[in-house]
Each structure stands twice: as structure tokens, then as C-alpha cells.
Amino acid sequence: MNKKTVKDIDLAGKKVLVRCDFNVPYDENRVITDNRRIVAALPTIEYLLENNCKVILCSHLGRPKGEVKPEFSMDIVAKELSRLLDKEVILAKDVVGPDAMIKASNLKEGQIMLLENVRFEPGEEKNDEELSKKFASLAEIFVNDAFGTAHRAHSSTTGVASFLPAVSGFLIEKELNFLGNALENPERPFMAILGGKKVSDKIGVISSLLEKVDVLMIGGAMAYTFFKAMGYNVGNSICELDKLDLAKEIMTKAELKGVKLMLPVDTKIGKEFDPNTESKIVKYTEIPDDWEGFDIGPETIKLYEEELKNAKTVIWNGPLGLFEYEQFAIGTNSIAKALANIDAIKIIGGGDSAAAVEKTGLAEKFTHISTGGGASLEFLEGKKLPGIEAIQDK
């Protein structure tokens, strides 16, 4: 990685603003249900504290859309951070208002504070220059460690970097190293597994990966667009009728590039979108009217598992079925288990696939689970991420 990190800059005793990704899920009682993103930020925070920095953290939570809404307050994050660090985390009552300014100016070495939800500020998502200057006025150095928002040009991710020296934290460094090495210098055979709902969401990723992988396995609802493009009936399955030509192009491109494109050979179908719906297994060519495909079938699982035994590098993005419903989570869970048992570099590209792997309890068997859903997708597409571009080069 050719971007400067916290280790490439003199931090001792400095006031540092750190953009984290604390956009964690929580329940109706405002209890955090998954603290992985907070835990992922700890190495950078602890390093700054060891260097006697005055640490100011900031993040968004949910989508308050430029309005102050108590249900999106960072108070729950401050509490969880205090617990994890075993140290008081001072919470500002605002983002760059009087309370934040006073608390930041009174901050002592080795102390840590958290700003209120950056998206309470209407200028945040517009990358407003005045807001960026106010963020910059709080500190001497800017550290971006929020890979999950690196694909967004916002005030707290890119704008502030115009006014302060900007370096990356350890989390972004790790993300770029794993994802970057997998794409640029993979151990082969290099395989990718793509799931999710729509071909249109993954066009860029598919095109990019067809230039690099040896094998591409397709699952999830987007498989039905391919079946339809091949002339088969897909019943009520999710299918993008305006993307049939694109699916044909992808199949042709894979053939020309010598990439083994694997599509499901059977599918588990259900009568309706319901966890307890009647279901059965059919060949991909025999989906009846009024039925809907919700998972890959046992023959497909077997084929994919056999193929994966040869892999040396695997990138997986998107679940292979409706994994939220137990009877349609078999494909996703089986592939997660198969991957857990192979000796290879295994990278999960964030979002639903990360949640699915966490659910199986096999997360520690993977080389890297990305914290950025949209950001990892855009990175896999080969796009430049504004939050990364704003970090100084080494």
C-alpha cells in the first residue's frame, strides 16, 4: 500500500481526529447487536493512546439525513467503546458546535472523546467546505480508518483531508493490503463467488473479476437472470428482464477469457416469500410457474465445494440464497463451511456475506472479512475510492 499510515507520521502528543465506521446495528432498546465495527477500530485507537495523543473520534450512525435525531445519537457507541477500552470516552453534545469545540480544546494527552453523529450536520454528505474546515480546526492530524465509508466523498472522510495532514489507520491499511493483494497478485487458482439479488449491482465487479479470476461461481437471486437469458422459465424468481443481454455478454466474455463460469445446476424453490413456505428442489431448467427460487440446490453445493478444494485465493461477495430464512440458508452456510476447511487466502467482501459468515460462527477461519460493503464492491470493481485518494501517499 502506497498510502501513509499512522506509523509514517510523528504523532506523539498530537491532537488527532479519527474518522471511524461505528455504523453498528442496534435493537429497539438501543442495545448494540453487533459490535464488530467498533472492535475493528480498536488497534488504531490504542496505538494513538500509546503515543499520548489527544484522540477525537467521529462517525455516522444510521441515516439521520442532516437532522438531529436522538435515536441516532452516538451515546450507545461511547458506552461500548468505554467498556472495550476500559477508559472514559467523553461524548460531545454536538458535532462541531460549542460543546465539541470546548471539549476538544480541553482534551489532555491520553484522553479520548467522540463527536456526535456527523450526519446530524446537513453539510456532511454534501462535503461542505465550511464544515470540513470546522472538523479540521479540532485537531492537528486526520486519520481515516473508516473503510466502510471510503467510497463516499463526505466532509468527515475527504473534505477534512484538504486542511489537515491525512493518513490511514490500521483497518484501512489491512483492507487495502488484503483486497489489493488478492486482486493484483493472487495465488492461483483464484476463484470468486458472487451472490446477491441483482446482476446490475455487480456488473462492474463481474467485468473486473473476469479479467483476473480462473473460476467465477454465481449464486443468489442474480442466477435467475442468467437462466432466463439462456431461455429457461424462472417462475416468480427475481429476474432483471432488462439485463438478459448483459447476462449473455458475461457468459460470452467468460468463455473468451477462458474463465470457468459456474452457474447453479439445481435450485431450492418456494411458493411464497415466507420463512415457512412449502419448498422443493428442482433442476435449474425446470422451475415451474408461480414458484420462486430462493437458494442453490444440493447438486450445486456439491459442485461448488469440489471446485473450491483446488482454490488458493477466494473472494466471496453476496449470499447464495435467502439466508435470513433457515430453510434457504443451506447453500450459503454449506459454502461458508467448505471455505472454512480449505487452505487458501479467503476474503469476504463485506455486507450480507460477512453477516452470513458471522452467523455460522466460522468467522475466525477466514483470512479477512471486509468491514466495507459498498466500498469493497467498488474496490473490487477497480474504482478509485475518494476516502482513500484523500490520504497522503508515502
108 neighbors 13 (Cβ within 8 angstroms): no
Residue 356 pLDDT class (50, 70, 90 cuts): confident
| pLDDT confidence of residue 85 | 97
138-177 per-position pLDDT tens digit = 999 999 999 989 999 999 999 999 999 999 999 999 999 8
| pLDDT confidence of residue 237 | 96
Residue 11 pLDDT class (50, 70, 90 cuts): very high
235-292 per-position pLDDT tens digit = 999 999 999 999 999 999 999 999 999 999 999 999 999 999 999 999 999 999 999 9
Which residues, at least 6 apart from 194, have a Cβ–Cβ distance to it below 8 Å? 202, 205, 206, 209, 216, 217, 218, 219, 220, 222, 316, 317, 318
- Domains (ranges, CATH) in the chain? 6-171 (3.40.50.1260), 179-380 (3.40.50.1260)
Distance CA 158, CA 360 (A): 36
Distance CA 226, CA 221 (A): 10
Place of cell 411458493: 271
- The closest of 287, 282, 292 to 321, measured between CA atoms, is 292
Task: Confirm whether 374 is a catalytic residue.
Answer: yes
C-alpha cell at 189: 487458482
Task: Confirm whether 180 is a catalytic residue.
Answer: no
| pLDDT confidence of residue 350 | 67
| pLDDT confidence of residue 1 | 63
30 neighbors 155 (Cβ within 8 angstroms): no
Higher pLDDT, 322 or 183: 322
Query: 0.75 exceeded by the pTM?
Result: yes
Please check the confidence at residue 373 and state whether its pLDDT lies above 80.
Answer: no
* Per annotation, catalytic residue among 148, 169, 331, 351: 351
Residue 128 pLDDT class (50, 70, 90 cuts): very high
Distance CA 349, CA 201 (A): 14
| Span 36-55, average pLDDT | 96
Distance CA 142, CA 169 (A): 10
Distance CA 227, CA 329 (A): 21
Higher pLDDT, 364 or 130: 130
| Span 209-227, average pLDDT | 95
Task: Confirm whether 19 is a catalytic residue.
Answer: no
303 neighbors 161 (Cβ within 8 angstroms): no
Picking from 11-15, 127-131, 139-143, 177-181, which range would have the lowest pLDDT averaged per residue? Answer: 177-181
Question: DSSP per residue over 258-320, as a string?
Answer: T-EEE--SEEEEESSSSTT--EEEEETT-PPTT-EEEEE-HHHHHHHHHHHTT-SEEEEES-S
| pLDDT confidence of residue 179 | 87
Question: Distance from CA of residue 164 to its chain's centroid?
Answer: 27
Task: Confirm whether 321 is a catalytic residue.
Answer: no
Q: How buried is residue 49: exposed, middle or buried, by Cβ count under 10 Å (0-12/13-18/19+)?
A: middle
| Span 121-139, average pLDDT | 98
| pLDDT confidence of residue 360 | 85
Please check the confidence at residue 133 and state whether its pLDDT lies above 90.
Answer: yes
* Per annotation, catalytic residue among 36, 198, 312, 337: 198
Please check the confidence at residue 92 and state whether its pLDDT lies above 90.
Answer: yes
| Span 117-124, average pLDDT | 98
* Per annotation, catalytic residue among 37, 174, 197, 228: 37
304-350 per-position pLDDT tens digit = 999 999 999 999 999 999 999 999 999 999 999 999 999 999 999 86
- pLDDT above 70: percentage of residues in the chain: 99
| Span 53-79, average pLDDT | 97
Higher pLDDT, 285 or 355: 285
